[in-house]
Amino acid sequence: MEEKLPIFKKISYALPAFSLAVIGIPVYVYMPKFYTDVIGLNISYVGWVLLAVRIFDAITDPAMGLLSDRTNTRFGRRRPWIALGSLLTAIAVVFLFNPSLTGQANAHLWFAVNIFLLFLFWTVVVVPYEAFGPELTFDYNERTSLFSFRDGFLIAGTLAAAASPALIKGIFKIGSSPDDERYVFFILSLLYAPLIVVSCISCIHVLKENKNFSPKEHLGILKGMKFTFKNRPFVILLAAYTISAIGNNLPATLILFYVQYVLNSGLADFFLLLYFLTGIVFLPLWIKISERFGKRNAWLYAMALNTGAFIGVFFLGSGDTLAYGILVFLSGTGFGATLAIPSSMQADVIDYDEFMTGERREGQYVGIWAFSKKLAAALGVGIGLSILGMSGYVPNATQNENVKFTLRVLYSLVPCICNAAGFMIALFYPITSDTFEAMRKEIAKRGR
């Protein structure tokens, strides 16, 4: 394990984040609208299925984390699972992106089964992958750099995913009929499925695991969970991040609906690109801010900027595309920091756990963290789409004023309230660079 990592190792670790993002954006942003407006599923049904699969993750994510921690092979604890999970995820992507043509009832079942399988296999790759990161360096600021690389690649993957449908339609001269939309998702599956396998295999080929992190004795499951939730910095970080993420996932789910039906604009893809590109451009600045003012303060500044800009979106209406673009840009400047900095803080609270217990339990922590991220996304998708359905939403039609107002509230006000709550909780996060260094010195005395 190295304190300072060469650039090529940071890039190798970041590669799977790119491929996971290009899969994630269609699943979270495009897939709900594809299965409702193109395939014809009820919007509330899609929302409830997505919520149910996240409840399923409540079991699989922590279990995968525990299993990863306790795996002991000559290839390491994480790398075998990353390889297996990437292959299974690729197969599930092909099936989910190519729904059955044999009738509406089968389409409901097809969606439910394949979305469950995708998220199960996603867990098999993502939890060990994210647990791998904190093991690569123990340097306080180097971790922020490492996770900024990873989340920069994640944002780049998001950009690629946001641009892909329009690019494919332009390159292959595809229209907008239901059959055309099916063809677009078919091409996407052919591109994305191999990408996830290649990127993950490249990562685990370059990066090796530290064999010292395979302890022969383990805390019991219940005792381990007890110690996990006695870790005060982790509980504070988890609560602040989860509440904030619930709000952040609502705009991701509803942007296509908001831009089309509130702004009456066809520029949703452009606004997605603007938001994520801005996040990448400003990420190096946030690394410097984190080094100068500390991780917690940098995260707080980013949340405040993101929220302060986005509150104005509530007051927009038909034709306000320029004002919306300005607010998207301002909000996007803090986006990268809200991804990378909490990830770096998460690695620090795992070290705090080692300080308390003497064990390296990245998998268990990342499993809980991954579940919380997925729960936040599920609540954003499930509740957002369900409320939108109950407000009277009709696919591919002019929406009434009640639907438009509901979209404005869910897309802007609720996320801002969630971010404000997360901000208040994050104020109590206690780990600074000084306390971290003192903790690492104490761990080093024990022989790590």
Domain locations along the chain: 7-445
Burial 232-265, CB ≥16 within 10 A → b, else e: ebbebbbbbbbbbbbbbbbbbbbbbbbbbbbbeb
Confidence of residue 27 (pLDDT cuts 50, 70, 90): confident
Q: Alpha-carbon distance 118 to 27, whole Å?
A: 10
- The model's pTM: 0.77
* Position with higher pLDDT, 372 vs 115: 115
For residue 325, give the 3-state DSSP assignment. helix
pLDDT for position 222: 64
**pLDDT confidence of residue 345:** 92
Q: What burial class does residue 417 get, using C-beta atoms within 10 Å of its C-beta: 0-12 exposed, 13-18 middle, 19+ buried?
A: middle
What tens digit of pLDDT does each residue of 301-338 get? 999 998 888 899 999 999 999 999 999 999 989 888 88
pLDDT score for 208: 86
Query: What's residue 101's pLDDT?
Result: 63
The whole-angstrom separation of Cα 439 and Cα 427 is 21
- Per-residue confidence (pLDDT) for residue 104, from 0 to 100: 63
CA–CA gap between residue 178 and residue 35 (Å, rounded): 10
pLDDT of residue 379: 77
Phi/psi at 39 (nearest 5 deg)? -80, -30
What are the residue ranges of helices labelled H in 133-231? 140-172, 178-206, 221-230
Helix (H) or strand (E) holding 373: helix 362-390
Q: How far apart are the first and last CA of the chain?
A: 11
| Nearby residues of 347 by Cβ (< 8 Å), 6 or more positions away | 133, 134, 143, 147
With 70 as the cut, is the pLDDT of residue 105 above it?
Answer: no
Give residue 443's pLDDT. 77
- If you search the block for the tokens 């946001």, which residue do you land on? 162
Question: Which of the 8 DSSP states describes residue 400?
Answer: P
Architecture of the structural domain at 7-445: Up-down Bundle (1.20)
Categorize the per-residue pLDDT at 384 as very low, low, confident or very high, splitting at 50, 70 and 90: confident
Give the alpha-carbon dihedral of 405, 409, 411, 416, to 10 degrees.
160
Using the Cα atoms of residue 301, residue 236, residue 241 and residue 406 in order, give the sign of their dihedral.
negative
Instruction: Please give the angle made by the CA atoms of 388, 390 and 395, to the nearest 5 degrees.
Output: 60
Q: Please write the tens of the pLDDT for every residue from 244-296.
A: 988 888 887 788 889 999 999 988 878 988 888 898 899 889 989 998 999 99
* Region 214-232 average pLDDT: 68
pLDDT surpassing 80 at residue 212 = no
Euclidean distance between CA atoms 80 and 407, whole angstroms = 43
pLDDT at 360: 78
pLDDT reported for residue 86: 96
Note the pLDDT of residue 445. 79
Are 291 and 235 in contact by the 8 Å Cβ rule? The answer is no
| Average pLDDT of the chain to the nearest whole number | 86
Q: Are 364 and 180 in contact (CB under 8 A)?
A: no
What are the residues whose beta carbons fall under 8 Å from the beta carbon of 293, sequence distance 6 or more? 301
What pLDDT score was predicted for residue 140?
80
Burial of 72 (0-12, 13-18, 19+ CB in 10 A): exposed
189, pLDDT greater than 80: yes
